[in-house]
Amino acid sequence: MRATSVLLGLHLALAVAYENNNNQKPLGNPRPNPKKKQPNIVFILTDDQDLHMNSLDYMPLTKKHLIDQGTFYKQHYCTTAICCPSRVSLWTGKQAHNTNVTDVSPPYGGYPKFVSQGFNSAYLPVWLQNAGYNTLYTGKLFNAHTTTNYDSPFPGGWNTSDFLLDPYTYDYLNATYQRNHDPPVSHPGQHTLDLITAKALSLLTSVAASPSPFFLGIAPVAPHSNVDASSLTSPDANISTVQFTPPIPLARHAHLFPDARVPRTPNFNPASGPSGTSWIRRLRHQGEDNVEFNDHFYRQRLRALQGVDELVDAVVRRLDALGLLEETYVFYTTDNGFHIGQHRLQPGKECGFEEDVHVPLVVRGPGVPKGREVEGVVTTHVDLAPTLLGIARGEGDGLEFDGEAIPLTGEDVDAARGRRHEHVAVEFWGLALNEGKTWGGEEERVALNNTYKGARVVGEGYSFYYSVWCSNERELYDLTTDPYQLRNLLHPDEKAHVPATILGVSFDKVVARLDSLLFVLKSCKGTTCTRPWHALHPAGNVLNLKDALAVRFDDFYLTQQKRVSFDRCELGYIVDAEGPQFEKDGFAYRQGTPWYEWV
């Protein structure tokens, strides 16, 4: 059991707000047309797929059917870069600090924690059923959803399901799937991607004639690392004995892209010196063998993704053949990103860098512009549940999301610009795992104290990532001048690079604003997550970072605020380790009274 709890997988997140309390009309909710049938939704969720290493460039069928026929949201983020927490956030529309599912396994995460937090009867498929949808799912739902706990209880909300189960979820050639209430079935020698494609097509065909609209979730395991199940089930298994190997492609794709290698961006295995903070700053420069192996790892990911590309092709062609394509939304995203070699990191995720949190989101469907790339509109995984519920015209009443619906029509996208949230609340608790080889000894498998909060802010003319770690080390990257996040302006070694001013405002003043933003975001709920500046300025005259930089707020930010800090590092969300809290006793600021006077 300990093995199972150790295991598992690794990834995901999301959350959202349906309506804001700013007296603005909710942005981007699809306009209901009561006469029209509710549209179908197909939601394809890959596992650990990167945006920054260009994996989509190797998926021509996904480009043809989804990118060219839909809208690519170029500023889409997950809010926690690990599978299960990210997925729970996605399906509930809540930040991980509000789900408290923050890990892949108990006690802080995994399917058992999802259930004990009450979400098995309060997440998207349940709400979609309430809206009249026939809900179907195949593939990985959560980590620590296993061959022993799959029926205690069964996941709620699905009319038909065919789940991948731990500890065999990442066993590409011997996966275990479990259909409806049937016992688990192991598939030795069959490839998980061929299996899931066949299952998805059969689910589609089964609903074609049904009068209800349907939601079909398809969650293939690629391009996640392969994990040898026996390394999870042996009696003395622990987090450092889990055996990750590069993903295993379908045989027909095994020799593709022989010359592909990880893009040699400026942050790839930098020779000039370490970057980041905490354990990342102590990483050694990778030697030639290490880089060669990691390039192989990269190619295996691209090859494994060919099975997903064919899955996308098969699903879209089947929708077309069934006459359903034009009335169906197809979403394509992943739980979290991935890094290989950037900042000298071994293959893995769990960091706050762009490689791990900035992920693909492509949508095609009724009213969604074709071939459009949306820049300057920040969207996150916690925005997805309200988006999907909006499409389904489900009841948002009584639900509190930490995100807000993503604008889908061209008109709504244009209206959202400058009015929508410009930030992502990034958070993480626990360990970082090296999924490659341990070149310097087994102690390089697990990085401890990888607990941090971050705020990614992308506005007109600025782009920052600010974070505070449980060690109280801090990071600030100015991505307009440092897009590869090589210069942590808050690290003592980088003093010489600190600009006197940013956006015409002195450096310290900008940092103070970002810290206050993070202070609100790290425990925000509902509309405070989408309108954090409103919590700091209840009069409503500050809508974004730029407004907050006004000179008249200098004193407010520089001298009157509490700072983000930690008391110690914990593996989960233990409030009392996390310093002062903004929302101590519920959130009820008095208009016009600075919050610090009464918190």
Active site residues: 83
- Does 108 bind ligand NAG (CB under 6 A)? Our answer is yes
At 226 the three-state DSSP class reads strand
- 100 contacts ligand NAG (rule: CB under 6 A): yes
Which of these, 141, 92, 139, 136, lies nearest to 117 by C-alpha position? 92
- In angstroms, the Cα distances linking 126 to 99, 119, 134, 246 are 16, 10, 10, 35
> Is residue 172 part of the contact set for ligand NAG (CB under 6 A)?
no
Number of residues that bind ligand NAG (CB under 6 A): 25
Q: Mapping DSSP to helix (H, G, I), strand (E, B) and coil, where does residue 328 land?
A: strand
**Matching residue, tokens 């600009």:** 499
Q: Is the bond preceding 270 in cis, omega lying within 30 degrees of 0?
A: no
Other Cβ atoms closer than 10 A to 507? 16
Helices (H), 333-379: 354-357
CB nearer to ligand NAG: pick between 404 and 435:
435
1/575 with CB nearer ligand NAG: 575
Q: For ligand NAG, give the closer residue by CB, 58 or 108.
A: 108
Q: Are 557 and 516 in contact (CB under 8 A)?
A: yes
214 forms beta bridges with 134
User: Is residue 240 a contact point for ligand NAG (CB under 6 A)?
Assistant: yes
Binding flag, residue 576, ligand NAG (CB under 6 A) = no
- For the segment 408-467, give every residue that binds ligand NAG (CB under 6 A): 448-449
120 binds ligand NAG (CB under 6 A): no
Contact between 146 and ligand NAG by CB under 6 A: the answer reads: no
Is residue 174 within the footprint of ligand NAG (CB under 6 A)?
yes
In the numeric block, which tokens belong to residue 327? 């009335």
Closer to ligand NAG by Cβ: residue 236 or 555: 236
Shortest gap between Cβ of 233 and ligand NAG (angstroms)?
A: 9
Dist CA 314 CA 333 (whole Å): 17
Task: Choose the stretch contacting ligand NAG; rule: CB under 6 A; options: 261-269, 314-322, 537-545, 565-573.
Answer: 565-573
Per-residue binding letters, 522-561, with ligand NAG (x by CB under 6 A): ----------------------------------------
From the list 202, 150, 203, 206, the residue with the least C-alpha distance to 181 is 150
For the beta carbon of residue 57, count every other beta carbon within 10 angstroms: 11
If one asks whether residue 265 binds ligand NAG (CB under 6 A), the answer comes out as no
Considering the complex, state which of residue 168 and residue 401 has its C-beta at the smaller distance from ligand NAG.
Answer: 168
Using alpha carbons, select from 83, 119, 124, 40 the residue that is nearest to residue 383: 124
Single out the residue of 71, 129, 226, 333 in contact with ligand NAG (rule: CB under 6 A).
Answer: 129
Q: Where are the beta strands (DSSP E) in 93-239?
A: 134-140, 160-164, 176-179, 185-186, 214-219, 226-227
Q: Judge residue 296's burial from the number of C-beta atoms within 10 Å of its C-beta, 0-12 exposed, 13-18 middle, 19 or more buried.
A: middle
| Complex with ligand NAG: residue 37 or 372, whichever CB lies closer | 37
553: tokens are: 């707020």
Q: By CB under 6 A, which span of 78-86, 236-244, 394-402, 537-545 interacts with ligand NAG?
A: 236-244
Q: Assess 156 for contact with ligand NAG (CB under 6 A).
A: no
563 binds ligand NAG (CB under 6 A): no
Binding flag, residue 163, ligand NAG (CB under 6 A): no
Dihedral angle, C-alpha 571, 574, 580, 581, nearest 10 °: 120
Stretch near ligand NAG under the rule CB under 6 A, chosen from 234-242, 268-276, 317-325, 407-415: 234-242
Type of residue found at 174: N
Instruction: Count Cβ neighbours within 10 Å for each residue of 28-43 and write b for 16 or more, e otherwise.
Output: bbbeeeeeeebbbbbb
CB 145 within 8 A of CB 167: no
176 in contact with ligand NAG (CB under 6 A)? yes
* CB of 217 or CB of 337, closer to ligand NAG: 217
Position of minimal CB gap to ligand NAG? 186
Whether 426 and 453 have beta carbons less than 8 Å apart is answered as yes
Q: Determine which residue in the list 205, 575, 590, 596 makes contact with ligand NAG, applying CB under 6 A.
A: 575
Q: Which is nearer to ligand NAG, 133 or 484 (CB)?
A: 133
List the one residue from 53, 144, 569, 571 that touches ligand NAG (CB under 6 A).
569
User: Where do contacts with ligand NAG occur on this chain (CB under 6 A)?
Assistant: 100, 107-108, 129, 134, 159, 168, 174, 176, 186, 188, 210, 212, 236, 238, 240-241, 448-449, 568-569, 572-575
